[in-house]
Amino acid sequence: MDLSELTHIAQAEVEHRLDRGMAAWGVPEPMTLEEWACKNFYLSAESSYVEQAWTPWTFQRAIMACISNDDIYEVDFKKSARVGYTKIILAAMGYFAEHKRRNQTIWQPTDDDAEDFVKSELDPMLRDVAVMKSVFPSYLSRHKDNTLQNKKFIGSITRVRGGKAAKNYRRFSADVALLDELSAFDADVEKEGSPYRLAAKRVEGATFPKIICGSTPKLKGFCLIDERYNA
């Protein structure tokens, strides 16, 4: 290999690294969550009956419109089972990471639930939604930017936490807070307040704060999603 070929390879590598580094300041064409999901989202084999590209059901479109509307601060989804809520929030997490470049945290009821969510839902999504690789250079690598608790993207970070420990609501800020199966959380997290209040603190000061709560309801009068829905 002569000097000119080596120079060409080196130049191409420099341009690639510059493009990846400058991507954090890029401003993509505005796109709603539904548009992004129809273009990019994919149902992975690990968590779906049929592995395929995803098209939202009619009622899901309105929920997704609320999630991607920056003028709406809070979305509360009181739901039955098997209505695609997990897929909606999974698509939203990809959308906020790749398109909006916003820091986000999702809380699951327990640490075990959080770990299972990453293994069965989040990691397969990052593998199968091709556009995510452009903002997640640490994909498939053993790296501090790719763990069960933290996924560091270009321009943002996604955290996954269990909801029973007060320490899991401290020492970080977010633009988007997601509480999955809210009614399975403790009503008072280690005597420091409700999971909703603790999560809402994390998005205080964000330019476009967003908090998303979803759950099937439980015992009437003691149900956390009923409380948020009725509010």
What are residue 99's phi and psi, to 5 degrees? -90, -45
- Which pLDDT does position 6 carry in this prediction? 67
> Is residue 160 classed as helix, strand or coil in its secondary structure?
strand
Could you state, in chain order, the average pLDDT of each consecutive group of 10 residues for the chain (231 residues)? 71 79 74 96 84 90 97 96 92 97 97 96 94 83 83 95 97 96 96 97 97 94 94 91
- Which pLDDT does position 104 carry in this prediction? 98
> Is residue 131 classed as helix, strand or coil in its secondary structure?
helix
Both tokens of 157, joined, read 């970070």
* DSSP letters spanning 75-100: EEEE--SSSSHHHHHHHHHHHIIIII
Rounded distance between C-alpha atoms, residue 158 and residue 146, angstroms: 10
Q: Check: CB of residue 135 under 8 Å from CB of residue 143.
A: no
How far is CA 174 from each of CA 44, 57, 62, 104, 159, rounded to the nearest angstrom?
Answer: 27, 29, 24, 5, 9
Rounded distance between C-alpha atoms, residue 94 and residue 33, angstroms: 9
How many helices (DSSP H) and strands (DSSP E) are in the chain? 8, 8
Task: Report the half-sphere exposure of 7 (CA within 13 A, side-chain side).
Answer: 3
Both tokens of 202, joined, read 């994390």
Contacts of 4 (CB under 8 A, 6+ apart): none
Rounded distance between C-alpha atoms, residue 125 and residue 43, angstroms: 8
Plot region of 179 (φ>0 → left; ψ -120 to 50 → alpha; else → beta): beta
- Return the active site residues: 181
Residue ranges of the alpha helices (H) in the chain? 3-22, 33-40, 58-67, 85-95, 111-117, 123-128, 195-202, 224-230
Q: Where do we find the tokens 């939604």?
A: 129
- Which pLDDT does position 186 carry in this prediction? 96
